[in-house]
Amino acid sequence: MSANVSSNLAAMLKIRRFEEQCIAMARAGKLPGHYHVYIGQEATAVAACAALKPEDFLFSTWRNHGHLLARGASPGKMLAEILGRSGGYAGGKSGTLHLSANDLGMPTTSALVGGSLPLATGAALACKRQGKGIAVAFFGDAGLEEGAFYESMIIAQVWQVPILFVCENNSIPPKDRKRGQYTSSTLPAQRLGDVTQSLQIPSEAVDGTDLTAMEECFKRLTAEVRNGGGPRFVEVCCSRWPGNIMTWPELPGGDWQIDWAFGGKPDVDAMVAWLSSDPLSLYLKKQLAAGALDRTQIEAIDAAVKKEMTGAAQFALDSAFPEASEAYRHVFAAQESAL
Amino acid sequence: MKITFAEGLAQAIYEAMAADSRVVLIGSSFMGLNMTARKLMEPAVRDYSDRMLVTPISELALAGAGIGAAMCGQRPVVDLGTGSFIFQAFAQVVNEAANIHYMSGGQSKAPVTFYCLAGMRGMGAAQHSHRTQAMLGQVPGLQILTPGGADDAYQLMKWSLLKSQNPTVFICHSLLFTETSELDPNEPMLPVGRARIRRQGSDVSIIASSITVPRAMAAAELLEKQGIFAEVVDLRTVVPLDRETILKSVAKTGRAVIADECHKSFGVAAEIAATLAEDGLSFLKAPVRRVVVPDVPIPFSQSLEEELTVSTEKIVAAALQVLGR
Ligand SMILES: Cc1ncc(C[n+]2csc(CCOP(=O)(O)OP(=O)(O)O)c2C)c(N)n1
Ligand SMILES: [Mg+2]
């Protein structure tokens, strides 16, 4: 088994198991509030982050767990933050919505649709001026419904800053939409890249269920951006995981099982159908067919990931809730008050 | 007839749509993610879905389109979702809607309603917990409705959709949905601009609006157990602000506690305290107390958010303080 295959598998599994942990915590009443999981989109963050360097900046949305994990964030500190504990990245101030890890080049997370696009464009300006790094903005398809999207594209193109816009389109195709379903973008565009093409920003679409295709795509696009080629836009066509429902995510068919890549089937029809577009299952099957790994190896990686997640959960649960006085800290950064 | 706040809203919207075909809904998830309350919108969806527009996540243009349609003959309500999303629409709400009548020398008007589900709802964190009534109170030309009871949710919404001639921000609080009150359909509505005395009292006036109304009522109940009679003044609308009723109440009780969910500085409570300082100083037997949210963003963690919340307990403590207990 090559190092690349095992690290890809571990990285995707880490996200999957982390999200399952979140759902379990929510069910146990330990995870308060509203949250979003990245199940079904794992390959995107893993492939994109593999093409990045430590000096690069990343911006995400409310659906940010996968991006942080793929960037190397600590699952324990993330989970502690999601549970509102003092051991979290923001000491309990951000929760899931605004998770950030500044030392990983993720200075803030806007939970507003389109909110991070101008910020990422500015980060790219800083990169250009400082002569190192690029910015990557991950956002959902609804991002294109906000004016901030167009304004950011125009600025990025006019300034020729090093930024890769990654739109993770997990929208439900118009024909399958039901009234009252979880928000899905209403964009009249068929190919989202057509929108940026008209602004002279080169764009392409990539299959979000195919890790290998995305590795190639992100490697090439980040190199172009890094070499002064200006902004790029990529539409990642994701599959919509059935647990991603209107209010709180659920785990139809329970935790994901390795056996599902070996002919076993979940007991929920929607999950059976979805597995054929699950990036994790597809990657596994492909590597198995190529003889790149065997079941024992997969089980060993999964066992290690699960162990890490159990440790993360323990860390989070052991972490105390913040003291009330913490509420008053960090409104302003420390500064000198005169010249 | 007893109704809940959410029922009042849904009924007002339904009746307004039935009464006037110019009422259109730009967005229609008035109840947020409250699945029980969402069901209440089903009759409107059933009968008037042709007047419910599909809405992309485009708050700026949705608000602006509501204004434009209102100027040209419709009576739209724009559902901006979580109250914090009104910032996405600020340019249109603050700098267009509010100015149109004035800038046109009274020629044009924009009777549009902007609906916001605002406030500290629990774990909304910094970007989903705003209460914008104080900031918007700085914008002449905007009416700001802040119902704290089911009766006012019904009447103010219906008034806004059918009668108002001005741009209106309707600020709803998701923790109010299950509050109940009596509604007598035959009784005339208390005019907009008049505060409601929710409870008579002689020892201290508690001035409240929106979510602080039920909390002030609960505080008054606790105080009564200690032999203290609090009067609860429900503002109903922050703009127009009923200074007269506030002053009258404080003239009677001699003491004022102002409970409001905006931040302390430059807030709704600050405006009321200033009014009392200017025109009611001689009534006051003790300094005014504000029970408000400290000047910090809203943190995610429950233990931190609680520290900042305008609770019944804090209102009771402030009342005891102004009474010298
Ligand atoms: C400015 C703003 N408007 C509305 C919302 C409410 N909201 C949260 S997630 C979401 C849907 C976003 O869809 P998309 O961008 O496609 O991302 P996905 O959740 O599908 O990954 C909406 C409308 C918001 N967070 N910010
Ligand atoms: Mg989407």
CA-nearest of B229, B238, B233 to B196 is B233
> Looking at the predicted structure, is the pLDDT value of residue A334 above 90?
yes
The answer to whether the CB of A68 falls within 8 A of the CB of A60 is yes
Q: Note whether A114 and A139 are within 8 A (CB).
A: yes
pLDDT at residue A188 in the model: 79
Please state the rounded mean pLDDT for residues A321-339. 98
A306 CB burial (10 A radius; 0-12, 13-18, 19+): middle
Do the chains contact at A113 and B57, CB–CB below 8 Å?
yes
Q: Which amino acid appears at position A103 of this protein?
A: D
- The answer to whether the CB of B41 falls within 8 A of the CB of B75 is no
What's at B276, amino acid-wise?
L
Question: Which residues neighbour A322 within 8 Å (Cβ) at sequence distance 6 or greater?
Answer: A84, A85, A86, A91, A92, A93, B301, B303, B304
Query: What is the Cα A326 distance to its own chain's centre?
Result: 29
Quick one: average pLDDT of A283-311?
A: 97
* Cβ contacts from A onto B, under 8 A: 106
- Asked if residues A105 and A56 have their Cβ atoms less than 8 Å apart, the reply is yes
Contact residues on chain A for B306, CB-CB shorter than 8 A:
324
- Across B201-227, average pLDDT: 98
Residue in A127, A8, A109 with CA at minimum distance from that of residue A67: A109
List B residues 119-158 in contact with A (Cβ-Cβ < 8 A): 122-128
ipTM of the complex: 0.96
Task: Take atom 3 of ligand 1 and give the residue whose Cα is closest.
Answer: A113
Please state the rounded mean pLDDT for residues A244-271: 92
Percent of residues, chain B, with pLDDT higher than 90: 97
Residues near ligand 1 (Cβ within 6 A): A 36, 62-63, 111-113, 140-143, 170, 183, 185; B 57, 59, 81, 85, 88
Q: Taking a C-beta distance cutoff of 8 angstroms, is the pair B230, B205 a contact?
A: yes
Distance CA B62, CA B50 (A): 17
Under CATH, what is the fold of the domain B2-182? Rossmann fold (3.40.50)
pLDDT greater than 80 at residue A247:
no
Distance, CA of B60 to CA of B70 (rounded, Å) = 15
Best residue in A61, A89, A146 for a mutation probing chain B (most B CBs within 10 Å): A146
d(CA B30, CA B38): 8
B304·A327 Cβ contact <8 A: yes
Question: CA-to-CA distance for A29 and A21, rounded, in angstroms?
Answer: 12
Task: Determine what percent of chain A falls in helix, strand and coil, rounding each to the nearest 5.
Answer: 50, 10, 45
CATH superfamily placement of domain A3-315: Thiamin diphosphate (ThDP)-binding fold, Pyr/PP domains (3.40.50.970)
Q: Which of A192-206, A240-254, A270-284 has the weakest average pLDDT?
A: A240-254
A114 CA → ligand 2 middle, Å: 12
Please tell me whether residue B174 adopts helix, strand or coil conformation. helix
Q: Chain A contacts of B55, Cβ < 8 Å?
A: 186
Q: Given the structure tokens 């999964």, which residue do they identify?
A: A302
| Whole-number average pLDDT of chain A | 94
Average pLDDT score over residue span A95-119:
98
* Mutation probe of ligand 1 site: the residue of A113, A116, A166, A187 with most atoms within 8 A of C-beta: A113
Structure token digits, residue B38: 């969402």
Residue type at B156 in one-letter notation: L
Question: Is omega for the bond preceding B240 within 30 degrees of 0, making it cis?
Answer: yes
CA nearest to A92, candidates A73, A79, A74, A105 = A79
Token output for A79? 């989970």
| CB-based contact B126 A93, cutoff 8 Å | yes
Backbone angles phi, psi at A57, to 5 degrees: -110, 140
Strands B143-145, B168-173: pairing kind? parallel
Share of chain A above pLDDT 90, in %: 89
Query: Which residues, 6 or more positions from A73, have their beta carbon under 8 angstroms from its beta carbon?
Result: A89, A99, A101, A104, A106
What is the per-residue pLDDT for A180?
47
Q: In the structure, what pLDDT confidence band is assigned to residue A149 with cuts at 50, 70 and 90?
A: very high
On the question of pLDDT at A88 being above 80, the answer is yes
List the single best residue of B42, B300, B309 to mutate versus A (max A Cβ within 10 A).
B300
User: 10 Å Cβ neighbour count for A320?
Assistant: 11
Indicate the domain borders of chain A. 3-315
Residue A287 CA to residue B43 CA, distance in Å, equals 53
For residue A121, give both structure tokens: 């464009």
Look at ligand 1, atom 7, and give the residue with the nearest C-alpha. Answer: A113
- A62 backbone dihedrals φ, ψ, rounded to 5°: -55, -25
- Between the CA of B268 and the centroid of ligand 1 the distance, in Å, is 30
Q: Which residues of chain A approach chain B closer than 8 Å at the C-beta? A: 32-34, 84-85, 90, 92-98, 110-115, 142, 145-147, 179-180, 183, 185-187, 246-247, 321-324, 326-328, 331
- Give me the residue label for tokens 């001035």: B207
Subunit contact B61:A85, Cβ cutoff 8 A = no
Burial of A82-97, coded b for 16+ CB within 10 Å and e otherwise, reads bbbbbbbbbbbbbbbb
Cβ contact B57–A146 (<8 Å): yes
pLDDT for position B292:
98
Residue contact A98–B300, C-beta within 8 A: yes
From edge to edge, which strands make up the β-sheet containing A163-169? A57-59, A135-140, A163-169, A232-237, A203-207
CB contact under 8 A, B304 and A322: yes
Q: Is B191 on the interface with A (CB under 8 A)?
A: no
Using the 8-state DSSP alphabet, how is residue A103 labeled? G
CATH T-level topology, domain B196-322: Rossmann fold (3.40.50)
Does the pLDDT at position B279 exceed 60?
Answer: yes
Nearest atom, ligand 1, residue A183 CA = 11
pLDDT, one tens digit per residue, over B43-100 is: 999 999 999 998 999 999 999 999 999 999 999 999 999 999 999 999 999 999 999 9
- pLDDT at position A176 over 80: no
Which residue's structure tokens are 């020398």?
Answer: B105
* Residue B300 forms contact with A (CB below 8 Å): yes
Per-residue pLDDT at A171: 86
**What are the backbone dihedrals phi and psi of residue A45, each rounded to the nearest 5 degrees, phi first?**
-65, -40
Q: Is A154 left (phi over 0), alpha (psi -120 to 50) or beta?
A: alpha
Res. A182 pLDDT band, cuts 50 70 90? low
Q: What angle do CA A77, A82, A86 make, to 5 degrees?
A: 55
B125-161 per-position pLDDT tens digit? 999 999 999 999 999 999 999 999 999 999 999 999 9
At residue A13, does pLDDT exceed 70? yes
B276 close to B256: Cβ distance less than 8 angstroms: yes
Does B125 contact A94 at a Cβ distance shorter than 8 Å? yes
| Residue-by-residue DSSP string for A149-181 | HHHHHHHHHHHT--EEEEEEE-PPPGGG--TT-
Cα angle A279, A285, A290; round to 5: 125
Q: How far apart are CA A70 and CA A48, in angstroms?
A: 9
Give the Cα separation of A114 and A117 in Å (integer).
Answer: 6
The terminus-to-terminus CA distance of chain B in angstroms comes to: 39
Reply yes or no on whether the pLDDT at A268 is more than 60. yes
